[in-house]
Structure 1
Amino acid sequence: MNLSTDLSTTNSCTTLEPSNRYLASAVVYGLVLAVGLPLNTLSLWILLRTHGFRSPCAVLMVNLAVSDLLLALSLPLRVYFYATLQWPFGAATCTAALMMFRVNIRTSCIFITLISVDRMIALVFPLRSRSLRTPACALKCCAVVWILITILCIPEIIRLHGALKGCPNIPCFEVQASPESSRVIPLSQAMFLLVLLLVNIVSTVVVIIVLRKRPSAEAAKVNNKMNVILIFVINMLVFIIFFLPFTLQLLTYNNDDSGEVIRALVCLASVNCCLDPLIYYFSLDSFWQDKGKRQTDAGTYSLSRSMDRS
């Protein structure tokens, strides 16, 4: 996520030789592009058309889809680079492509966590959380996330562009951290991701406990408990499969590493944009239905109805 925060001109202007790893990267990113771009575009269109910003859950999902589209839109350049090992687009385009990818990793983790927390609160405290769980509040939270991530990325953008603009042959997505590179930023990002993972785990455990016990007077009634539990478990598994290996590698990375392992894990993390539409959108019984039909459909579980009425 931040291996290239500080770069030296020497190690950011090297010439690459063809290898099977570069070819494999081109294939994987090409597959992610072919699946992720249409799925996220379709999901975003359906969310805006049938759900809009009428519930906090829908607001969070729209922002997650936008985040995934940022990643998908940066992938054609990655595919071209790894297929040709050439970068004729300049330092500014390289910096933009790198940052679009990193912003997705950072914002996706946050939005996935917010979705889990929102659903947990809706299940455990459906009445008391009514004033907190509103579309306006969700929009404000998402705006804060985008603003903070953008501000935190500004120094990184400046350093990346400054290090790459003098290179005659930019190995854009293969830039290495310089020996003087600070460990503070990648370590802080790794710790933040671990905190988000812990929040997802706690949310999942709380939901399972609440659903296993007899619901209290305030707890929301859920018709299909297994579907609700499955959604929380899948949220947690996405973190464990796609983000945890990358996070642990950030914690153990040192400047003597070749960087091949972490690039492979970055490649794995990019796959999350293909699964987000399936996990967070299509897992909802009411995803394809408009608001009026959702409220009258007896097959829609009560947790979704409580979100829509917020």
Structure 2
Amino acid sequence: MTNSSTCTEPDLKPYYAITYTCILVPGLIGNTLALWVFYGYMKETKRAVIFMINLAIADLAQVLSLPLRIFYYLTGTWEFGGGLCMLCFYLKYVNMYASIYFLVCISVQRYLFLMHPFRASSCKRLCDVYASVAGWLVVCVGCLPFPLLRLQNDATNTCFVDLPVEQVDLSTSLAMVSVGELLGFVTPLLIILYCSWKTVLSLREKNSASRDLGEKKKALKMILTCALVFLICFGPYHISFPLDFFVKTEQIGNKCVQKVISVFHAVALCLASLNSCVDPVIYYFTTDEFRRRLSRQDLQDSIQLHSLASTRKNSKDVLRKDAVGC
């Protein structure tokens, strides 16, 4: 059974290439547009925009690495050096865990503004900046084991899923997987679920004014959307991650089990990458400022202001040149 051809590991590279190609254009357009919108409305939007900007940056960083991934999965060879391979491989996990972190931050902030508005308003936008910087540092350091456990083999020009994994003993494997699952998935999931639960309970309060009820519904919509994206994009990966890790470190040796885990892990990886083009959809449907910025009237006003500014700048340049010529 172990040596049967039905249990050989399938070639999943074409599926990776197709998935990343489908993600590339929507992710690039959506996150670039999101950064433009949030930059223009940074001063008048709620403070959660800081976390949304960081979420868009994390998504855009991964999207920009997708062309190299697509090239590798189509050609089967890596021609860009081991350093760039490790950087692209590393960015995948930085994006995923940075997205998890900022989804949690957005959910917590919406919950705090709703349940404790005076306490939350005492912390100015600078707090969000500090939280974002701290989050990036923790995520970047925490994701270092992913590339450090991979062995770059320049002789065969391999990268990404084809990179061999350093062999570690079972106790070390269990410890690393447990810490990663607990800090990277279970704890953020519990936080988002808690925020959702408390927001739902607040909707049942009979003494809520109609305005407060509307704000609560908006907050619940945002938090539940974050929870849904979190579960769909990152839930399957964190189920398949320990199984795939045990396969790659040869803790699981049965070929048929390895095949099933490899296919499941490939699907989970594709779902995890999907968040790069799903997050801009969250912004549009849960953020009033985002929809207003993309409305036809606001878009026309923005274009007219940009054209007027360009015209004034060109006029000043012409007058300056004439003055110098005189």
Shorter chain as denominator, the TM-score bin is: 0.7 to 0.9
Structure with bigger helix share is 2
Q: Structure 2: which amino acid aligns with 1:136?
A: L
Residue deviations 1:84-111 (CA, integer Å, cap 9, x gap): 1111111001000001111001110010
Q: Structure 1: which amino acid aligns with 2:280?
A: P
Please name the residue that 1:205 is paired with. Answer: 197
Shift in Å at residue 154 of structure 1?
4.3
Q: Is the contact between residue 203 and residue 217 of structure 2 (CA under 8 Å) also seen in structure 1?
A: no
> What percentage of residue pairs aligned between the two structures are identical?
27
Please name the residue that 2:182 is paired with. Answer: 191
Please name the residue that 2:281 is paired with. Answer: 278
Q: Is the contact between residue 57 and residue 118 of structure 1 (CA under 8 Å) also seen in structure 2?
A: yes
Q: Is 1:263 aligned to residue 266 of structure 2?
A: yes
Aligned-residue CA RMSD (Å): 2.8
Secondary structure of the residue aligned to 1:29 is helix
State how 1:81-160 maps to structure 2 within 5 Å.
81-132=72-123, 134-154=124-144, 156-160=146-150
Stretch of structure 1 that moved more, 256-265 or 200-209? 256-265
Q: Structure 2: which amino acid aligns with 1:137?
A: C
Q: Is the contact between residue 194 and residue 244 of structure 1 (CA under 8 Å) also seen in structure 2?
A: no
Q: Structure 1: which amino acid aligns with 2:158?
A: I
Shift in Å at residue 186 of structure 1?
3.0
| Aligned mates of 1:19, 1:53 — CA distance in 2 | 52
Q: Is 1:236 aligned to residue 217 of structure 2?
A: no
| Aligned mates of 2:155, 2:145 — CA distance in 1 | 20
Q: Is 1:169 aligned to residue 160 of structure 2?
A: no
Secondary structure of the residue aligned to 1:209 is helix
Rg larger in structure: 2
Residue deviations 1:85-142 (CA, integer Å, cap 9, x gap): 111111001000001111001110010001000000100011122213x210000000
Please name the residue that 1:56 is paired with. Answer: 47
Shift in Å at residue 249 of structure 1?
1.8
| Aligned mates of 1:54, 1:35 — CA distance in 2 | 25
| Aligned mates of 2:142, 2:44 — CA distance in 1 | 27
Instruction: Give the length in aligned residue pairs.
Output: 272
Q: Is the contact between residue 40 and residue 68 of structure 1 (CA under 8 Å) also seen in structure 2?
A: yes
Query: TM-score scaled to structure 1, two decimals?
Result: 0.79
Please name the residue that 2:57 is paired with. Answer: 66
Q: Structure 2: which amino acid aligns with 1:151?
A: V
Q: Is the contact between residue 113 and residue 120 of structure 2 (CA under 8 Å) also seen in structure 1?
A: yes
Q: Given the superposition, is the C-alpha separation of residues 81 and 289 from structure 1 closer, same or farther in structure 2, using an over 3 Å criterion?
A: same
Query: TM-score scaled to structure 2, two decimals?
Result: 0.75
Higher relative contact order (CA 8 A, sep 6+): 1
Q: Structure 1: which amino acid aligns with 2:112?
A: I
Q: Given the superposition, is the C-alpha separation of residues 154 and 232 from structure 1 closer, same or farther in structure 2, using an over 3 Å criterion?
A: closer
Q: Is the contact between residue 242 and residue 268 of structure 1 (CA under 8 Å) also seen in structure 2?
A: yes
Q: Is the contact between residue 41 and residue 69 of structure 1 (CA under 8 Å) also seen in structure 2?
A: yes
